[in-house]
Structure 1
Amino acid sequence: MSRTLIETANLVVNLTPRPIEPSWIIEGNPVAQCCVLSKSADGLASTMVWQCSEGKFNWYYDFDETILILEGAIVLESDTMGPTRYGPGDVIFFKDGAHAKWHVDGRVKKLAFCRKTQPVLLGFALRVFSKIKRTLLPSGKRQPASLMGSA
């Protein structure tokens, strides 16, 4: 991966096979492919394009994932949510530990933002460290908070 501070990518990429765990498949023969567009320096966050052909399958999340449906449609359901259809422009957030039943209708393509969660105490310590760092770093060398999307 690049060490530059700004990386760019395009959604028109070469996708490589990313098979779905066979025991998760409920119906059909869904074929999944993806391409990782970016990865954080610590390896805990990534952005990828993922697509899948028609089928029904379970998905078990061991990380936080926010998706934006780019093309196609899916029907999602879980223990706490009845079947709901999503299509282009819809954004869905799956928390670490979530389980969802996916029904891909034809084909779906999504942009996914994935992040492995930190233990609560470690996350708190990192936020405190970041706050101290921002406080001690001369203001001329850091960006205004409004540009960073935080208050």
Structure 2
Amino acid sequence: MSGDEKIVFYEGKNVEMQPCPINPAWVIDGAPVARNFILSRSLDNSATTLLWDCTKGVFNWHYDIDETVYVLEGSVVVREDNGVEHHLGPGDHILFRAGSHAVWTVEKYVRKVAFCRTPLPASVMFLVRVMRKLARMLKLAPASDAPAMFSGA
């Protein structure tokens, strides 16, 4: 992929997972083995979609980006710092905001799709919201903050 294509297609059989070791200092129990495959990356490198899988183990995860996880296969228990646990299985999804931390317990195996995005600084987001509001007031943009394809426009 050169980065200038408008539409990029991959056949499922071409997905070759690559080693993606968990930081050894984060591992609490076991010897989890993680792999990933980058499905897509935005042209500005602010967003990435990837497949990720991991074998049995318990480990910390520190998020420096926003990450939405959609579980495809297997299961995981995610424990927040306040002790709240989330049991995730196929079809479940969860959002981790940049700056958050969780303990992951993979009992056997988990496979997920991860949508990762580097958040914009608050000052930039404020300007974006002001511009969107002005555009809506001037009828230059759809009423929703969602992309046009999701807003029914």
Q: Shorter-chain TM-score: which interval?
A: 0.7 to 0.9
C-alpha displacement of 1:56 = 0.1
Q: Report if the CA contact (8 A) 1:52-1:104 is conserved.
A: yes
Q: Distance in 2 between matches of 1:42 and 1:3?
A: 12
Q: 2:36 aligns with which of 34, 37, 40?
A: 34
Q: Report if the CA contact (8 A) 1:11-1:49 is conserved.
A: no
How high is the TM-score relative to the length of structure 2? 0.82
Distance change in 2, residues 1:108/1:60 (3 Å): same
How high is the TM-score relative to the length of structure 1? 0.83
Q: 1:22 aligns with which of 10, 21, 24?
A: 24
Q: Please report the RMSD computed on the Cα atoms of aligned residues, expressed in angstroms.
A: 2.4
In the alignment, what sits opposite 1:7? 8
C-alpha displacement of 1:5 = 2.2
Q: Which runs of 5+ in 2 are unaligned?
A: none
Q: Percent identity at matched positions?
A: 41
Name the count of aligned residue pairs: 142
Q: Which runs of 5+ in 1 are unaligned?
A: 137-144
Q: 1:111 aligns with which of 113, 127, 135?
A: 113
Q: Distance in 2 between matches of 1:129 and 1:9?
A: 36
Q: Distance in 1 between matches of 2:104 and 2:147?
A: 37
Distance change in 2, residues 1:103/1:10 (3 Å): farther
- After TM superposition, the runs of 4+ consecutive aligned structure 1 residues lying more than 4 A away are 126-132
Distance change in 2, residues 1:129/1:41 (3 Å): farther
